[in-house]
């Protein structure tokens, strides 16, 4: 599943304007490659959040704090929206991103262990998009999100059997305004994706 995404090409001013978002706090930084396995001590991921209005604020990646399961609460299956996530499914946010990473499982003759080949996923002809998320409010008032996933469209299926939900501005507004999750699941909704193999030497 997606445990890395990239915001290196994101224009935060455009994101703020697209969603008429008020900036909460400051020190917004685009770190480029963001990994679910990092353990930041302060929120550091700029996110558009529907929380007391539409705001841009720094957040953590993770709805559930669990030091024994580093990725628990990082990726959320949209099919469980009304069961596992019923307490947070109306806590909507969008994470501005320029790409994300998936590892394709490749079996090679003579090897028992399959290879994991890293691919970078983009939106075709767009520099940035918005990842759909549900968020929790931590006891200290900070916000942590989980990326919402769906079944893959044909392009994503070539790489992985799940797909994070990525949106343009129009669909992003619909998501923030609590449209039913079914409107953002494949096959009802399908982003125009493309990818590059970052480790062709493995194949």
* pLDDT > 70? residue 149: yes
Burial class, 113, CB count within 10 angstroms (exposed 0-12 / middle 13-18 / buried 19+): exposed
Tell me how far apart the alpha carbons of residues 21 and 53 are, in angstroms, rounded to a whole number: 8
Rg (CA), the chain: 17
Q: Of all residues in the chain, what percent carry a pLDDT higher than 70?
A: 100
* Residue 67: band (very low, low, confident or very high) from pLDDT cuts 50, 70, 90: low
As a whole number of Å, the end-to-end CA separation of the chain is 20
Mean pLDDT to the nearest integer, 69-81: 92
Closest among 183, 169, 173, 177 to 127, alpha carbons compared: 169
pLDDT at residue 202, as a whole number? 86
Mean pLDDT to the nearest integer, 136-147: 95
Rounded to 5 degrees, what are φ and ψ at 149?
-115, 165
Distances (CA, A) of 167 to 83, 97, 178, 183, 189: 23, 10, 14, 11, 9
Strand partners, 96: 130
* pLDDT > 70? residue 138: yes
pLDDT at residue 5, as a whole number? 97
* Residue 145: band (very low, low, confident or very high) from pLDDT cuts 50, 70, 90: very high
Mean pLDDT to the nearest integer, 139-150: 96
pLDDT at residue 26, as a whole number? 79
Distance of CA 133 to the CA centre of its chain: 7
């Amino acid at each position: 599943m997606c445990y890395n995404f990239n915001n290196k090409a994101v224009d935060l001013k455009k994101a703020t304007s697209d969603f008429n978002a008020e900036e909460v706090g400051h020190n917004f930084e685009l770190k480029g490659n963001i990994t679910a396995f990092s353990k930041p001590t302060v929120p550091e991921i700029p996110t558009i959040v529907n929380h007391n209005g539409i705001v841009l604020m720094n957040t953590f990646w993770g709805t559930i704090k669990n030091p024994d399961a580093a990725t628990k609460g990082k990726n959320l299956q949209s099919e469980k929206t009304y069961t596992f996530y019923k307490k947070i499914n109306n806590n909507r946010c969008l994470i501005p991103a320029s790409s994300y990473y998936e590892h394709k499982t490749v079996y090679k003759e003579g090897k028992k262990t399959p290879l994991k080949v890293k691919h970078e996923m983009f939106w075709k002809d767009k520099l940035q998009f918005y990842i759909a998320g549900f968020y929790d409010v931590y006891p200290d008032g900070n916000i942590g999100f989980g990326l919402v996933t769906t079944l893959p469209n044909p392009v994503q299926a070539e790489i992985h059997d799940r797909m994070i939900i990525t949106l343009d501005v129009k669909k992003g507004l619909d998501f923030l305004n609590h449209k039913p999750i079914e409107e953002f699941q494949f096959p009802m909704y399908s982003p125009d994706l493309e990818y590059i193999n970052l480790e062709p030497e493995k194949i």
